[in-house]
């Protein structure tokens, strides 16, 4: 079993499968929304992951955000702990130490540290409220919140394309995202040496909880995606690209036409790895149910309706030990 054996041989044996690379310029400028939507739909059916290029996201903002991430993670542990997610209550933002979040808690401890933020608000409710920011880093708040806001705009373009790919109106999901749950995350993965097992790795195998993830990764690599035939394959960095993957909500909406794909991170590079994922879901109380174009008399809905917040908070309780004591 993988849990008992080294993953090194498994990684060496993994063939590099080509995850689709989609030029989304015609989507962003509106010249061929339908054509790009069809490409995105095919990627969601066959892989659940795809790269996008010519997306228009400012590379200077990306570079600046990585610089801010490195500055933050280099702070003394005591300074980072002052911003611990444990202190944020239901807002669930701030610093997450090594092994503080474990997305496959029955099998793997996650060797990563993170910093989470979202839309800054004064009123506190699950996944909403004030961001916790390091006072020792001038300019940090401005940079990471700009990154979050720019990612939100890009995410809405991609979500509209997913709707079109399902033969739905482009604004179909917009009505469920008036005030969506969003998480902008900074991540740091130290290198692992020696024998690496399933017991401890950068991030254990998991699907993403929400609707869509937009990932920027540095040049180090380490992201692994599970192929439809059960093999772990590399998703290497491609300069200027972003990696997109769909989450559990999309799998429900599409009645398993589009599948939320298992993935993990193993950093065997010998150097530190940084990445910047952006997660977008729906409104907390939004209903998640199979869309009309993905069900029929011969293909009935396989899922009962549930709310976005109920699903996401349940997954967080499974992943965060401190929530299990509340």
pLDDT per 10-residue tile (average), the chain, 326 residues? 49 60 98 98 96 97 98 97 94 96 93 97 93 96 97 98 98 97 98 88 96 97 91 93 98 98 94 98 98 98 97 90 73
Instruction: State pTM to two decimals.
Output: 0.94
Q: At which residue do the structure tokens 């020696």 appear? A: 194
Q: Any long-range contacts for 135-138 (C-beta under 8 Å, 24+ apart)?
A: 136/75, 136/79, 137/68, 137/71, 137/72, 137/75
Q: At which residue do the structure tokens 């700009």 appear? A: 146
302 and 256 Cβ atoms separated by less than 8 Å: yes
SS3 of residue 55 by DSSP: coil
Beta strands in the chain (DSSP E): 21-23, 49-53, 94-96, 109-110, 113-117, 182-189, 200-201, 203-206, 212-217, 223-226, 232-234, 242-246, 263-265, 273-280, 287-288, 306-307
Q: At which residue do the structure tokens 């409710």 appear? A: 125
Question: Is it true that domain 8-325 has CATH number 2.60.120.330?
Answer: yes
Tokens of 325: 């004591």
pLDDT at 9: 53
pLDDT at 7: 58
CA distance 274 to 311: 28
Tell me which residue of 260, 190, 194 sits closest to 7, measured CA to CA.
194
Residues 6+ apart with CB under 8 A from 261: 47, 48, 49, 207, 225, 226, 245, 246
pLDDT at 3: 42
pLDDT at 320: 86
Residue 155 φ then ψ, to 5°: -60, -40
Q: At which residue do the structure tokens 């993965």 appear? A: 189
């Amino acid at each position: 079993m993988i849990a008992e054996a080294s993953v090194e041989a498994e990684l060496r044996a993994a063939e590099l499968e080509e995850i689709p690379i989609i030029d989304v310029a015609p989507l962003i400028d509106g010249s061929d929304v339908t054509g790009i939507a069809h490409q995105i739909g095919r990627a969601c059916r066959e892989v659940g992951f795809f790269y996008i290029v010519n997306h228009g996201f400012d590379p200077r903002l990306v570079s600046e955000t990585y610089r801010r991430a490195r500055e933050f993670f280099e702070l003394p542990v005591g300074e980072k702990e002052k911003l611990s997610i444990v202190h944020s209550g239901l807002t669930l933002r701030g610093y997450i130490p090594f092994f503080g979040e474990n997305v496959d808690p029955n099998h793997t401890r996650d060797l990563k540290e993170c910093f989470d933020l979202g839309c800054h608000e004064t009123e506190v409710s699950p996944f909403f409220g004030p961001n916790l920011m390091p006072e020792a880093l001038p300019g940090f708040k401005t940079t990471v919140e700009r990154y979050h806001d720019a990612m939100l705009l890009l995410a809405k373009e991609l979500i509209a394309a997913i709707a079109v790919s399902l033969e739905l109106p482009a604004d179909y999901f917009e009505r469920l995202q008036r005030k969506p749950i969003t998480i902008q995350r900074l991540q740091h993965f130290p290198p692992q040496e020696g024998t690496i097992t399933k017991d401890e790795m950068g991030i254990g195998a998991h699907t993403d909880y929400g609707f869509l993830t937009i990932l920027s990764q540095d040049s180090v690599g380490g992201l692994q995606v599970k192929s439809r035939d059960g093999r772990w394959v590399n998703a290497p960095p491609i300069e200027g690209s972003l990696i997109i993957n769909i989450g559990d909500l999309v799998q429900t909406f599409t009645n398993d036409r589009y599948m939320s794909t298992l993935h993990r991170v193993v950093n065997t590079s010998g150097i530190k790895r940084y990445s910047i994922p952006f997660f977008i879901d729906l409104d907390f109380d939004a209903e998640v149910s199979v869309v009309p174009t993905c069900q029929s008399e011969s293909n009935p809905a396989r899922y009962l309706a549930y709310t976005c917040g109920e699903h996401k908070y349940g997954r967080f309780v499974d992943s965060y030990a401190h929530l299990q004591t509340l």
